[in-house]
Structure formats: C-alpha cells, structure tokens
A and B are shown apart, each in its own frame.
Chain A
Amino acid sequence: MIESIFLINGLGDIVMEKHWASAIPRSICDYFFDVQKSASRPEDVPPVIPVPHNYLINLLRNNLFFVAVISSEVPPLFVIEFLQRVVHIIEEYFGECKESIIKEQHVVVYELLDEMLDNGYPLATESNILKELIKPPNLFRTITNTVTGKSNVSSILPSGQLSNVPWRRADVKYANNEAYFDVVEEVDAIIDKMGGTVMAEIHGYIDCCIRLSGNPDLTLSFINPRLCDDVSFHPCVRFKKWEAERVLSFVPPDGNFTLMSYHVASNNIVAIPIYVKHNIIFREGTGGKMDLTVGPRTTMGKTVENVVLEITMPKSVLNCTLTVTQGRASFDSVTRVLLWDIGKIDPTKLPGCKGSIALQSGATIPSSNPVINVRFCVNQLAASGLKVNRLDMYGERYKPFKGVKYITKAGQFQVRLTIVGTTTVTAAAATFDCDYDRLGLIASATTCD
C-alpha cells in the first residue's frame, strides 16, 4: 500500500512529505528527478517508475507532482485514483490545488492526508466526511479561531461515516433550497484536411450544485436517456433504477459534485459545431502564405463562443505575420505556437486570418503537417441532444429552486492541415494516397461480393 507521499513541484523541490509506515528517505525522489529531467515535457513522465525496492506512482496536477511510494504489488489505478482524490479534496478545501496554497496550509493538508490514509489504505475520502472531521478554513472561522483558540478539528464522529449514505452530511439546513444541474458535453474530434470527420465522440458529464435541506431523495429523468452509451455514476445513484427505468434516482451529497458522466460513442453521428477552412502554401526559399476562415456548422442557432485556434508550426518556421478580421493573433517564435483568439463567431461576418510565414533561411519546405487545436464553447446546447425532462423530489416538503444548463465544449478537437509546397510534393504522402485509392477499390469490391 501507499508508504509515503511526496509533493514535488515542477522545479524538482519537495514541497511536502508524509509517511505512513517507516519514514522513507527523501533520496528516493532522486530517481524521480532523473526521470523528470529526461522527459521533454512534464506530461511525458511515466505514471509508474520502478526504482530499487520501491515503485513511484505519480500524478501531475497544476505542475505539481504527487508522488506515492509503493513497496509492493497494488493496482496502479488504485493509487492514481487515490492521489486524484487528494487533489480533489485539496481543491474543495482551498479552491485550487497550487503549490503556494499547499505551502500556506501545510498543517491542514497534513491533517487531511492523515485522515485519508491509514497505514497506506484509504480511510475517509468523501469530502463531506472530511469536512466534518476537519473544518475547511474560511475567513470567519480563521478569525474566531484566533480569538477563541478553537480548532478546526471536530471531536465527534461524522454521522455520515456510519450511515448508509456516507456522502451526505446530517442536518443540512439552507434558507434557499436550490438544485442546479450543468450538462456539459465535450466534443472530441479529428477533422481531416478535406473537412471530413475522421473520428468524433462526445463525453458528457452532469455537474450538480445542490443545496437542499434535510435528506431529499431526487429523481432526474431525461427525455432521451438511450443516447448515453456508457455511463458512470456518483455512488449515490441507484444503479438498479437506471437499469430498469433509465432515471437517475439519488440522495445527493451536499454541495458540488459530478453526478454522472456518459459517453456517446463514435457510431452515432456527432454534430460538429464549427468548421475551419485553411490554406497554407510554402514556396521554396521565400516562405509561405496562409489563409484561415472559421465558421459555425451545426449549432442549432446558438452562437459559438470563446473560439481559440492554436497551431504548432513546423520547426523551420521562423515567424508569421498575420492580419485578422476579428480577435487577436500572436505567434510565439520560441515555441512556434500560433494562437488566434477569436471570441464569438458572428455567422454573418466570418472571421478570417491572412498572413505570411517566414522560413529560416536555407530551410527546405517542412515535411510535417501541423494541426489546429480548436477550443470553443456553445452555451445552451448539448451536442448529443440529451435533454433533462424533469426533477422530482421526495422526502422533503419544501419546493426547491431547480435549474438546468447545457454547455458544449471542445474536448480534444483538432483539424489536420496539409502544407502544400509548390516545388516538391512530399513523395511519401503522394505514393500512399494513390495506393489507398487502389486499396479502397479492392475493399469495396470484396464487400460487394
């Protein structure tokens, strides 16, 4: 099980350490530093690093590595999932999980870790339980604590720990009873250079903010629940009900949580809300020209907002000079990232971007094709078409205020580009292309048979 946890920042300093079994010397982190240094990006550090006698399982969040030291066989996901829970709890307590905050709140974080793990085995990981054990700091409490000398640590056992709804606090009271649901969908897609969809998937989740007094029992039903291919639930959701009636029946935790996440797989046709027209031409020796246009595709009349295009240019590109009709474009010559922040798309006046690309002197036409990563956001639209039907509450008398919001966002949304060189066309690509055409014919012939 988890022997120790080290928090390491991007520079390779140990921010914090906590041991459960015997203390493990800090020197064990040296192995980690070696790997960290050899990785070109922090994301490339492998999640599990075997070192003599131990295994280091790490999690990277906000440029902060959570490294767990393991001495014997344990499912790696078990540890990763736990570390993720730690991050989540820290976020719940302090708003975000940053190095500076952890440094400031050493004692609370240390106490939290102490409660969450016992002998390396997870003990209390529900935020509601932890919040009752160790009160989260807020301004008011900090003041009263300093004045009265009281503490953040509670002396009674949280009732949730023992009840059969461990995720909910007892005796919740609110003056305003409200329940908000955010249906968020992320579109993952790869668009090829011709504008065709190579793959598209939708990952959705329902975030809730529920402030209801007492012990409400909620039932959320959808108009078209069969859309969801694969679902996962917060433990509070009664799975049997979903199986039988396709409704979400649950006693909610108090506060913010993710109720459900679902997946609309690639065999459904996914509506792509945006398109990018692109044209990049290089000329040998002089450089090249580029021309980009962005427009909305299937948005059901909603506006596409927060559109950002990001292109990592090939190595030989020196600089880009761009003029845009809308938003702001910039080119970072060190990372060679072209960033075009468009904002809202007005369908009557499509934003465009024109400019020239300067190549390094003497460099040949780049052979690798860049990719546009697109970010966007459409409010009041769920790309999959999922719609909440109604929310019923049982068990309590008051009438809660209910609200549902839909958002569609870009997940990993990328558009592939081709660079057209005027002198030499990359031979490899060309050969492959004609071969595929032949192959496609063969394939279709066989299917006809």
Chain B
Amino acid sequence: MLDSNKDGLKLEAMKRIITMIAKGRDPSHLFPAVVKNVVSKNIEVKKLVYVYLVRYAEEQQDLALLSISTFQRALKDPNQLIRASALRVLSSIRVPVIAPIVMLAIKESAADMSPYVRKTAAHSIPKLYSLDPEQKDELVAVIEKLLMDKATLVIGSAVMAFEQVCPERTDLIHKNYRKLCNLIVDVEEWGQVLILNMLTRYARTQFVDPNTKQPVPEKEFYEEEEEDEATDEPTRPRSLDADHRLLLRNAKPLLQSRNSAVVMAVAQLYYHLAPKNEVGTVARPLLRLVRSQREIQSVVLTTIASMSVKRKDMFEPHFKSFFIHTVDPLPVKLMKLDILTNLAGESNISLLLREFQVYIASQDSKFVAATIQAIGRCASNIKEVTSTCLAGLVALLSNKDEAIVAESVVVIKNLLQSQSADQEAIITKMIKLIDHVIVPVARASILWLIGEYCDKVAKYGPDVLRQMAKSFTNEEDLVKLQIVNLAAKLFVTNPKQTTLLCQYVLNLAKYDISYDIRDRARLIRNILFPSENIKAIKNPKKIFLAPKPAPILESKYKDRDTFQLGSLSHFLNIRANGYRDLPDFPEVAPDSTVRNVEPPSRPTSVNAERVSVSYAQEEKSKRKPTFYSSSSEEEEVDGEESKSETSETVTESDSEMSELQSEPDQDLDKKSISIQEKTAGKTADSTEDSDSSESETSSESEEDEIRPKAAQGTTSPPSAQTTKSNLDLLLDFDGAVPDIPTPIITPTIGGFLTPIVPTVTTSSSLMSNSVDSIVMSSPAYVANNPKELISRTAGNGIQVGIRFTRSPHLYSSTMASIELHFTNTTAEDLGEIKVANKVLPVGMTICDFPVVSSLPHGQTRTALIGIDFGDSTQAAVFDISIGDRILKLSIKPPIGEIIRAVSMSETYFLSQQVKLRGMQESTAVATLPPSVVDGHAICRRVYEVANVSPIPSSDPLVFRFGGQTLSSKTLVLITLKTEAPKVTVIVNCEKIIIGQMLANQVKEALDKH
C-alpha cells in the first residue's frame, strides 16, 4: 500500500503502522518502504512518516540518511511550521553521523525570524547534546544567544536547554536575570516552572541569606531612608538586594497559577529564598493544591510536611484542612497525620487528640498504628498532655486488635523512657498483658521494659522470666534476645531468685538455631558466670543497666529539606539522577553589577561616540546623578539636590531598565518621549488598560510607592531645566540618534540625560553610596616641572613648556587641562598671547585660554588650555600668536594623560576586568631595573606615565590601577603582576589601541633605568 500512488491508501497504511507502534509491535522491517514517503506531498502522510522515522531511525541509520536531504530542504521552507517540524524531526533522529548537520541547522534556526522556529531550535539543543556531547561549546554559544531572546515563547525553552546542557554556567544568566524576572509572568507555564527552579539555584549563589541577622551593611541601596531605623537597632535582618526583591516580587503572582507545578515552584522559591516573614504567603496556595487529585495531593503534602517541621507557624492556623477523610488513600492519610503531628502545639492539642481518637476507631489497621505513633509523638513533644496520652494508650492495651495493642506497647515503651511518672502502674498493667500480646515487637518491648525497670517491678520480674523460659523455644528471635537480656538484668539485680533461671535460659539460648542468639548468650555467660581463665568483670550492673537516652520521636520528614522542595529527590528522599544540590547562600554577595545589561556591540563612528556615553558609564550613572554638572556654574547649586536623589534613581532603574529591554527596537526619540510620559504618568495614577503599562506602573509602584512620590516632584523640574540649559547639546544629541543602534540605556532620568551632557563632574560631594561604582579620585602624582615643547631655538627665542595638570578642565571634564609656560628669552618685550588659528581633527575641541596681555622680556607667563583629545593620541595642532609672531604648537598627549584617575573597589575592578577580556586585554612584560625594588617605586613609575589611581589589592604582589579615558569615560584597568624582576603589565580597556599603547608605555616606564 505504501508504494501506491494514491495518498489515501498511503495514509491508511501509515495509520496502521502507527497503530502498531502505539501498541508496541515492531514494524521496523517496513523502514525502507516508509522512508520513501518522506517526500510525500500529503501533509498527514508526511507527518506520520516523521513520527515513524523518529522512532526507528536509530535502528536503521544508513537508510535514515536517505531522508536527511528532505529535511534540509524543508529547513528553508517559507512556512515556519514546516521549518520547525523539519528541525524537530531532524534533531530527533538519533544518528550520530548527522550531528554536524543538526548543529548547522540549530545555528541557523536560532536566528530565525519566527519565534516558533527559535523555540524548536532551543528544544533541539539538548537532543544534539545527548547525541554528541563534544559540541557543547558551540551549543552553549547558541544557548547564550537564545537566552538573550525577548520572545516569551522562546525563553522557557532556552532555559530548558540551559538546564540540560550547561547548568553550571551561571555567568550566562547574569545579563538576562532581570529580563527573566520581568517576563516570567508571560512565559508559558512549563517554562515558568523551569525558570523558577533555575532562578532559585541562581539566587542561592548570588544573594546573601535574607534571614541572617547582620550589622547594617554599608552598601545598601535603600540606606538613606532606612537609616533612622538602623540607628535604633544595631542589628536587623538584612534588607534584600534589589534584584533579589525583584525576583520575589515577580514570582508572587504565579502563586495564582492554575498549574500546580508552577505554584509549587514559587512555593519552593519562597521557602528557599524569601525572608522568614514572607514565606507564609505560600501557605494558602499550597493548601489549595492539597485539595486537588491524589497524585498532586501526595506531592504537595510531602512538601508541606517538610515545611511544617521547620515552619510550624505557616500552617498552624490551617491545621483543620489536614483532618483526614475516610476516602483519602492510605499514603495521603499517613502524610496528613505526620503534618498534624508536626503542627501540634499547646493551643490545638486537645482538638487534635480528639481527632486522633476518631482515627483510632478507623478500620484500617495501618492507619491506626500510625495514629498511635502520632499520639506518642505529641505526648513526647508537648509535656502538658504526656500523662493524658499515656493513659489513653494504656487503655488501648485492652483493645481487641492485636496490631493496635502492639503498636501501643512500642509507643508506651518509648514514652516511658523519656518520662518518669507512673511507670510502675503502667508496667504492671503491661506485664499482665504479656500472655495476650502476640506481636513479637510488642512482646520484646514489654520484656525490655521489665528488664529496664526491674527494680521498680521487682516482684513480677522473676515470674515473667519463668514463664518466658517455658515458652522460649517457640518465640521469635527478637523476643528471644530480649528474654536473654531480661535474664541477665534480673540476675544482676536479684541473683538470689534468678540464678538458676538465668542459667537455664542461657543454656537454651546456647543451642538456638540463630547464631545471633548463641553469640549473645555466650557473651552474657562469660560476663555473668566467668570461668577460671577469664577475669571476672567487676561491675556487670554498670554494663547491663546503664542509663539509656530516651529515643526522640520526630517526623520522618525532618531532614528532607536538604533537598530542594518539590523536586523528585525530595519526594522520594533519595538523590535522583541529575539532582543538583541547592547551593548555600554565599557569605558575601557576589558583585551585583554583573547583572547590569550591556549591549553586544557599539558603533565606532566618531559622531556617535562623542555623544553617546559608554555603557560602563551608564551603569555608573545609575548610581551617580551625573546630569547636573553640565557646567560648572550649575554644579554647586544642584549638587545638593542630586545627592538626595541618588537612591531613588537606583531603585527605579532596575525595574525600568528591564522593561525597556522588551522594547528594544524603540529608537531614542521614542524613548525620550516615553520617559517624559513616564515622569508625567508617575505623578498621576496611571489608568491605562494595556498590560504593559500595568506591569510598568505596578512594578514601580509596589516597592517604590512611597518614595518616588516624594521624589517625583524634584525629579522632573531639574530635568527640564537641564534640557533647556543644554539646548544646543540636545540638538546635537538628536542629530546623532540614527547612529546608535538599539542601545539599551538605563532610562533613569540620569541615564537618559547623560548622553546630552558630555561632562561628568568630579565633585567629591557626589560620592556614591555604593562602593561598587567608580569614584573620581585625585591624581596620585602630578608633574611639577614643565617639559619643553618648543625649544628656545625653534621658537626664535620663545621657549614653550608644557605641563599636564591632571585635573579636569573647568570648561568640560572631558578636556585635559594643560599648562603652557611661555618664556621670553628674546631681548624685546612681546605683546599679548592668544590662540590664533586652530585646525583640529574631528572629535577634538580646544578651550582657549584667556588672552595673556603681554610677555615681557625674560619673563615667563603661564596659560591654561583645555583640550578634548577625543580619546586619541593625535596631536592637537594650533597656532598661537605672541605679539606679532606666530608660533605653531603641536601638542601630542602621552597616552597616560588622556586618562583620569578613578577609584573603585577591588571586587568591582575584578568584575569589570572579567568583562574586558580577550581582544580588549593587552599585555606586556617589563623587566625591572635593580634600583626598583619595592611597590612604591613601581607605583610611582606608573603614576608618572599615566594618571591612574591605585585600587586596593588583596595580593601584595599584584598592583591594580584604575582610570577612565577623559572623553568617552571608557574604563582603563591596569594590573601589574610582579615576579621580580619581571613585571607583567595587563591593561584592560574597551578601546584596544589605548590599551595597547598604555601597556607599552607602562612597560617602558618600568624598564627604564
């Protein structure tokens, strides 16, 4: 039929084949005939062939290869559904030979237009990985790309691939963390589960434990408004990292999901990550799940049982929900019982015991036994009811059901050990029962009790032993052992009456079938009745009647929470394949800035560069309000205000920034509008209906509700002001817009305005709250003597010296201020000095010095000029007229002078350095002259060539320096690793040329004798 020309017949044939597969019969002998039909035009035939292929290709690899070209063709199909299904089947065919083809297909599809195809690509990754693990590196690259994807359809699958292929690469998550948090509500439910589980582990490695009490940490985002509280109490629970809070906040709505797996994932996330007082929110949703089908019920109850051990308060108000219905299956009953016992406290114990009493009358003996144990546990945990429970249990001893009696005996035994009251009466009662009790465990327990408390029931002991000795041979091993024990104990306390009996029992035991009992008898005999050649043990009483610690009755779910709640391992209490431990919280939070988003690449067009600010800078701008300092006049006035705003801009930026990522194609024009809208919208209550605006406003409002309201008043007016005062620059900015491709700019007011204002203040009054940022610092070294720029002879008697002051120029902080020393060695007095003619390369600006009135004979005049070199070492060439002479100056800055010293913490340094690896890292090896021995000398040499500031280093042999290029604020990081006499100079800088030049200059400086 498969060879027929009619589609209908083919379809019929395929259907029969599929039915065979489904029933488990093996139609693999039909493979050649089926494979031919892969080219069929009929979509249903095709689909069924696909199904068949996927199932049997592994077994018939050679034949399966015939079909590959069809798939390759289909991958180029204009219909996305066909592309996707082709990729799906292609990757599902487990034939190792085609791994490279699949790899290629995955790579292509990962960049497909259709999110559906991209999703399929993400699904294919783990398939290929299991087929050929060697492709891992390439796959990780694809995963990285897919994680960046903004379509909610893709993200879930991308995370799935991440979890299966490279769960250890947390560095891939950093940049996507905030995006994941913000989009999680919109991801399909299966993806939500995976993302939540993954983020739980991620958060465990990135944030500190919210429940440890700690002295107030210095670098808190919210420090300002919390300061007053902090002064009152020296220790308080740590306030959460903003990202940590973001995760918790965005996960919370998912508790309302209809999918129990999602609810559970959120619940475990809260349990493992949230501060103690917030975990309670998951109690109700979990209770809701308890109501669902039996399968879900048992998983949820396991989790609740674990939670209730540690967090009794969460479920205590709801304990009635765990009352047991007769229709519950047995495992569910037992779990509920355990939970009830965990929740038992003084307030609810009377109700609980009444419930338990009903359960004891149940028909299921296993359940009854468990109930008795539960009563025992309650009794030992809650002192008030111990005697009540004990009395109740003793009453149960007269029950008709022997299983119940046995269970009670065992529980009573445990209770008596921990409780001294009223033992005699109870034991007496139990002794009377021994003839009726058949269950071996119970008999053994009674015997043990008699032995243990033989001094209290001295009258009965020997009598019981006599009876037991009679029936010894018919007893179970367990009971026999206890009889032997009892004999020994009685002999020790009461040798007069029991010596003979004891010997008789030991003799019986000596010839027992079980070697265990024989051994025990031999041991005891040797202790109690030592023969001549063995030394008698002095005090057998101490051995046999040593005080024994009472057993602790506790929930069997006690230690389960070492496993991640809701996981398979947790449910089974076994480590499942592929289970990864939940890492402990780190002592100190790793650097949070790694989660700040950086764009993949930036244009190098000069125009754009001049206007847009580097991203490192933007990150900084979140913490530092840099927008007031456009001109020095304003600086002082606004400094105060901006300082107070620091904290607001920071907290808002987190939520806002990630929002904007979801609309990446928005150009800047639009963005500026949207931000204006936003500032306007914040003050009024937003009432828009659309989902996005809702999430926007709410994510802002939830946490920041109180603060921004106060702050908003101040936020908008200054921004307007600055915009006006920098109108010309704003125009400039607009012109540059098309050159910036989809930059992801921190849309704080500060971040938004930074591009407009090309200046950054160095005012120390703007010290950031956070240590993890860059702080301007004063140069470590400033040259005192000017260098000669134009010699006396070349300048016709005028000597020009030059000195880099290493302080920012007043006009603009991107300018290096340069001191020019003019010395008149001619015989005549010269007229005024001024800049005459300047022809500058693009991107360079010069701020002229004020005209120096005259240069008399033999005198020296100085002038301060500001030059923005635009981060290049091209010479600034300009003419200076001195009187009637024209002097051509060419100032070529040493690379170290277009840098400005900045300081930062070591961790921040390292985290930034990590981002600037590879091409952006330049190295050079210098050999130190013998004169340079200590660190100071080395540092000094570095300071001489470059305006950098030292960064504290934990390693005495490693020196670190930080700097920033003047105009684009690109970070320049210098690391010196000394291994005397060699020094490795590493310079990390986004601008490769600067990095290389600087590395060479530092090397030369160090080499110098």
Contacts and interface: CB of A to CB of B under 8 A. Distances in A.
Give the 3 A-B CB pairs with smallest separation, nearest first.
A151-B44, A72-B578, A431-B395
Contacts of B259: 81
A151 B295 contact: no
A106 B19 contact: yes
B295 A364 contact: no
Nearest to A233: B256
Contacts of A412: 325, 327
Contacts of A156: 79, 81
B116 interface: yes
Interface stretch (A289-297, A341-349, A376-384, A438-446): A438-446
B317 A110 contact: no
Interface string B388-400: 1001100110111
B567 A266 contact: no
B718 interface: no
A275 to B, nearest CB: 18
Nearest to A154: B43
B574 interface: yes
Given A77-B299, A78-B193, A149-B6, 5 more contacts: A71-B578, A77-B260, A106-B23, A429-B360, A432-B392
Nearest to B565: A75
Contacts of A110: 18, 21-22, 51
Contact of B572 (A26, A48, A231): A48
A123 B353 contact: no
A356 interface: no
Contact of A266 (B291, B293, B318, B358): B318
Contact of B327 (A20, A106, A373): A373
Nearest to A58: B295
Contacts of B579: 72-73
Interface in B38-82: 42-45, 47-48, 51, 55, 58, 79-82
Given A110-B18, A119-B126, A153 B47 contact: yes
A433 to B, nearest CB: 8
Interface stretch (A38-46, A168-176, A398-406): A38-46
A315 B578 CA distance: 47
6 contacts: A17-B24, A22-B94, A78-B190, A80-B260, A106-B18, A426-B399
B186 A107 contact: no
A429 B299 contact: no
Interface in A154-172: 154-157, 161-162, 164, 166
B392 A431 contact: yes
A48 B395 contact: no
A12 interface: no
A340 interface: no
Interface string A226-268: 0001111111001111110000000000000010010101110
B288 A232 contact: yes
A43 B297 CA distance: 12
A119 B362 CA distance: 46
A119 B11 contact: no
A239 B261 contact: no
A74 B568 contact: yes
Interface of A: 1, 14, 16-23, 26, 40-41, 43-44, 46-48, 50, 53, 55, 58-60, 70-78, 80-82, 84, 106-107, 109-111, 114, 118-119, 121-123, 125, 149, 151-157, 161-162, 164, 166, 188, 190, 192, 198-199, 201, 203, 229-235, 238-243, 258, 261, 263, 265-267, 312, 314-315, 364, 367-371, 373, 412, 414, 416, 426-433, 435-436, 438-440, 442-443, 446
Interface stretch (B609-617, B690-698, B814-822, B1000-1008): B690-698
Nearest to B119: A123
Between B44, B260, B346, the greatest number of chain A beta carbons within 10 A of the residue's beta carbon is seen for B44
A75 B350 contact: no
Contacts of B7: 149
Contacts of A314: 363
A265 B353 contact: no
B23 A16 contact: yes
B350 A443 contact: yes
Contacts of B164: 1
B244 interface: no
B288 A230 contact: yes
A72 B261 contact: no
Contacts of B318: 265-266
B568 A73 contact: yes
B80 A263 contact: no
B574 A50 contact: yes
Contacts of B783: none
Interface of B: 6-8, 11, 15, 18-19, 21-24, 42-45, 47-48, 51, 55, 58, 79-82, 84, 88, 91-92, 94, 114-116, 120, 123-124, 126-127, 130, 152-153, 157, 160, 164, 185-186, 188-190, 193, 197, 253, 256-261, 263-265, 284-285, 287-288, 291, 293-296, 298-300, 317-318, 320-321, 323, 325-327, 329-331, 346-347, 349-350, 353-355, 357-358, 360-363, 384-385, 388, 391-392, 395-396, 398-401, 566-569, 571-572, 574, 576-580, 691, 694-695, 698
A121 B189 CA distance: 12
Between B43, B47, B114, the greatest number of chain A beta carbons within 10 A of the residue's beta carbon is seen for B47
B566 A439 contact: no
Q: Tell me the interface secondary structure of chain A in the complex.
A: mixed
B43 A153 contact: yes
A158 B287 CA distance: 37
A213 B400 CA distance: 68
A231 to B, nearest CB: 6
A386 to B, nearest CB: 16
Contacts of B287: 230, 263, 265
A446 B123 CA distance: 62
Contacts of B92: 20, 119
B726 to A, nearest CB: 38
Nearest to B193: A78
Given A48-B568, A74-B568, A230 B691 contact: no
A416 B358 contact: yes
Contacts of A162: 114-116, 153
Contacts of B300: 77
Contact of B123 (A43, A111, A121): A121
Contacts of B127: 119
Contacts of B19: 106-107
B323 A190 contact: yes
Contacts of A266: 318, 320-321
A154 B398 CA distance: 71
B862 to A, nearest CB: 65
A71 B578 CA distance: 9
A123 B121 CA distance: 12
Contacts of A267: 317
Contacts of A111: 47-48, 51
A263 B291 contact: yes
Given A60-B294, A229-B284, A312-B363, A75 B261 contact: yes
Contacts of A82: 190
Nearest to B320: A199
B358 A161 contact: no
Nearest to A54: B577
Contacts of A72: 576-579
B261 A77 contact: yes
Contacts of B6: 149
A431 B261 contact: no
A74 to B, nearest CB: 6
B357 A80 contact: no
Contact of A368 (B15, B185, B347, B363): B363
B695 A71 contact: no
Given A81-B259, A111-B47, A153-B44, A76 B189 contact: no
A68 to B, nearest CB: 11
Contact of A428 (B11, B392, B567, B695): B392
Contacts of A106: 18-19, 22-23
A112 to B, nearest CB: 11
Nearest to A80: B295
